[in-house]
Structure 1
Amino acid sequence: MFTLKSSKGLLTFIFTFFLLGCGEQGNMKPRAMGPIHVDTITATNTSLRLSTELPGRISAFNEAEVRPQVGGIIKKRLFKEGSYVEAGDVLYQIDPVTYQASVNSSKAQLQKSISDQQATQKSFDRYSELLKKKLTSQQNYDDAYSDNQQALASVAIYQAELDNANVQLSYTKIKAPISGIIGLSQVSEGALVTAEQSSYLAEIIQSDQVYVDMAQSSVSLYALQKEFQIGLKDDQEKPIIPVKILLEDGSEYEHTGHLEFADAQVNDLTGSVTLRALIPNPRHTLLPGMFVRANVSSPEEREYIVLPQSLVIRSQSGAPYAYVVNDKNIVEKKNLTLGSEVNNGWVVKKGLVVGDRVVTNNFAKVKENIEVVIDSEDDIAKEQPQPASIDL
């Protein structure tokens, strides 16, 4: 039978056991943590040809608006719209009747003035001989000389009028000022045109090579120029900067051009500078006004460290850094200056050197100045694809 005395003994036993248990737990020491295990990859150089992609617009290498230089009625159109014309080809024929009449009139006046001059020349020669023999007066000689000079001037005047009349007649044949593709005719046969009219008759575009005009920020342009100057000597000529074109459908244009020039001033509103590239266009694939994307490449491949994006850690302010294990297996924090993005990696401009062992895992436990155990090491080149070019 369970009595009060026995129950008090049981409670005393339980309380004593509890106190002993608590004392043992209080005397237990925390288990020491071992070193953190990590994997690393070794930073190595990758050969890359940097490029920057810019939106651009095609413009003609040369274009000319055909306008009449004399007035008249268009009698014939002598070209096929959309065809290739050579410089000097006759495009339109203006009615030449009135201009031919002016030429004929000038010819007649010139012939008359030549005849008059020949007569005064004979008279002058005769008075010259008589004066030598003192058979005439000085006054008669002077008058003959003056008449001959006036006749010579008249010949020159009428010759100039004939030349001008011939020029005006030649303008009735409206010729192509440049070679290229001619567009739509803005006038038809029978239309009246006037000299110096504001509207053009047709437009000719020379497009066997074309320009690509691009806008680049002044800051980016400076970085681009600085990149291209690396490795050049003072006496070395500026490198040829290749430019490739991506068409609107995303396909790459078959011909490679080169950068011609950069504008000498920055646009006040946009802060950008206009770049112009010259692109071969033998099949006239690129038409003026087309929008394209241009890849401006550096002149040669260079060595860069490309770090996978997954290994770049960001601080609360967004500053990039990475953890590196030194020779003593101590973790160091390296602040990074990143450049271009390439596939799934970043070009590291500053912060890493070839041979650095970058931590690739266990970021939740890794901290600066702690010792780690490296389980496996790999080469960064095996982790990172090597493209032909990347954006600057």
Structure 2
Amino acid sequence: MSLLHSLKVPLCLILSSTLLLGCGEQAKDQRPDTAPLHVDVLDLTPTTLRLTTELPGRIAAVKQAEVRPQVTGILKNRLYKEGSQVKAGDVLYELDPITYQSNVNSAQAQLAKALTSEETARKTAIRYRELLKKKLTSQQDSEDADAAFKEAQAEVAIRQAELDYANIELSYAKIKAPISGQAGLSLVSEGSLLTAEQSSYLTTIVQTANVYVDMQQSSLAITKIRKEFFTFTDKNAEIPVSITLEDGSVYDEVGRLEFSDTLVSDSTGTVTLRAIVPNPDNILLAGMYVRAHISMPEARGYLIVPQSAVVRSQSGEPSIFVVNQDNKAVKKPIVLGNEIGNGWVVKEGLVDGDQVIITNIINIKNNNAVVIDSNTETTVTALTSED
């Protein structure tokens, strides 16, 4: 009796397990297969585009000069209008020239005295040469007379140099524009004492007909851009650069890329690119921040996919789903390039003719069966529309 009672519980467990296992297998056999997902696809075809690279930039003057005095004196007059266009050599300021004019007068007098002494020494030397020919004087006296004449000539040269220097200082009393351009705000007024080699400048002159746009780009990105440039047909093609102003408006004039620096900044790891842009209406001011768009030398065919079709992993790596020949979704990693409207240029990972899934992406997993409802072709207008 006790033996039968001890076998009841295990026997019941065995029977229960068998029944449950049978039911589970039956439920598994009766579970329907996952239905194919209905999707729309994009038939990839190359789109001909002239890509651009957008970089932050800052306006710099082609030429900019800080005007400073070269001699010391009291400022007598300001002879230019602030903000006006001046030419190289125009007088901007005038110092009181009395002291420097006095120095010129003194130097002229010293030169006149030296010239008189030179003439006297010349005549004496000639007279001694004649006397020596007649043996009425010694060789030593004749040589001394020649030496005195040469010393007088040297004295004339010294006095002439002193006069030239005095005239230069007098000319510096008129402070002139070193370059042509637009003169800025005057930082001094009449009656101010100006000193030679002072650190503060009087005003600035900026050439505004053309301006530079200096852009910073990482050395790695510059290397990629250069490699892409080398693949173009015309190596000497002019590279246009367009400008977007701080308010978002597009600047009318188009410039060109001038050069890239040959050194990488130690602190930022960036390289400076420089473009030159026409500025006939003085809209671009030195120091202004802009967005510069550097166009590729020529148009090429690129594969473009909608941004909404791109999925990213937790690490941010982009990928995309395409439909293979078995009508199954295949996840492909891709390398993205430029942003074009609402689309991305795909540099690597896709080929012409791939069918990219553009709908129902949130429900798709790799190797899912799919049913294609509609096909569309790649168009830039479709990608850039706001719909």
Shorter-chain TM-score tier: 0.7 to 0.9
Corresponding residue of 2:105: 104
- Alpha-carbon distance, 1:76 to partner: 1.5
What do the CA deviations read for 1:16-52 (whole angstroms, capped 9, x no partner)? xxxxxx9xx99x9777778665543311011222222
Structure 2 distance, partners of 1:317, 1:159, is 80
8 Å Cα contact 1:240-1:299 kept in structure 2: yes
SS of the residue corresponding to residue 384 of structure 1 reads helix
The within-5 A match list for 1:264-303 is 264-303=262-301
- Alpha-carbon distance, 1:232 to partner: 4.4
Structure 2 distance, partners of 1:263, 1:150, is 56
Structure 2 distance, partners of 1:95, 1:314, is 74
Percentage of matched positions with identical amino acids? 56
8 Å Cα contact 2:87-2:179 kept in structure 1: yes
The within-5 A match list for 1:38-77 is 38-77=39-78
- Alpha-carbon distance, 1:190 to partner: 2.1
Corresponding residue of 1:257: 255
Corresponding residue of 1:325: 323
Between stretches 263-272 and 163-172, larger displacement belongs to 263-272
Corresponding residue of 1:242: 240
Can you give the 5+ residue segments of structure 1 that lack an aligned partner in the other structure?
Answer: 1-21, 388-392
Sort the Cα spacing of 1:118 and 1:308 in 2 relative to 1 into closer, same or farther, 3 A: same
Structure 1 distance, partners of 2:380, 2:98, is 83
What do the CA deviations read for 1:166-188 (whole angstroms, capped 9, x no partner)? 11111111111111111222222
Structure 2 distance, partners of 1:62, 1:221, is 26
Corresponding residue of 1:225: 226
- Alpha-carbon distance, 1:320 to partner: 3.1
Can you give the 5+ residue segments of structure 2 that lack an aligned partner in the other structure?
Answer: 1-22
Structure 2 distance, partners of 1:297, 1:312, is 25
Task: Please provide the CA RMSD for this pair.
Answer: 2.8
Corresponding residue of 1:81: 82
Corresponding residue of 2:153: 152
Structure 1 distance, partners of 2:32, 2:87, is 93
Query: Which AA in structure 2 matches 1:178?
Result: I
8 Å Cα contact 1:308-1:384 kept in structure 2: no
TM-score normalized by the length of structure 2: 0.83
- Alpha-carbon distance, 1:124 to partner: 1.2
Corresponding residue of 2:340: 342
Structure 1 distance, partners of 2:286, 2:264, is 24
Structure 2 distance, partners of 1:382, 1:178, is 48
Structure 2 distance, partners of 1:189, 1:33, is 91
- Size of the aligned set, in residue pairs, is 360
SS of the residue corresponding to residue 79 of structure 1 reads coil
8 Å Cα contact 1:90-1:175 kept in structure 2: yes
SS of the residue corresponding to residue 227 of structure 1 reads helix
TM-score normalized by the length of structure 1: 0.82
Corresponding residue of 1:93: 94
8 Å Cα contact 2:43-2:378 kept in structure 1: yes
Query: Which AA in structure 1 matches 2:332?
Result: K
Structure 2 distance, partners of 1:120, 1:57, is 67
Structure 2 distance, partners of 1:247, 1:364, is 39
8 Å Cα contact 2:232-2:298 kept in structure 1: no
Corresponding residue of 2:182: 181
Between stretches 53-62 and 87-96, larger displacement belongs to 53-62
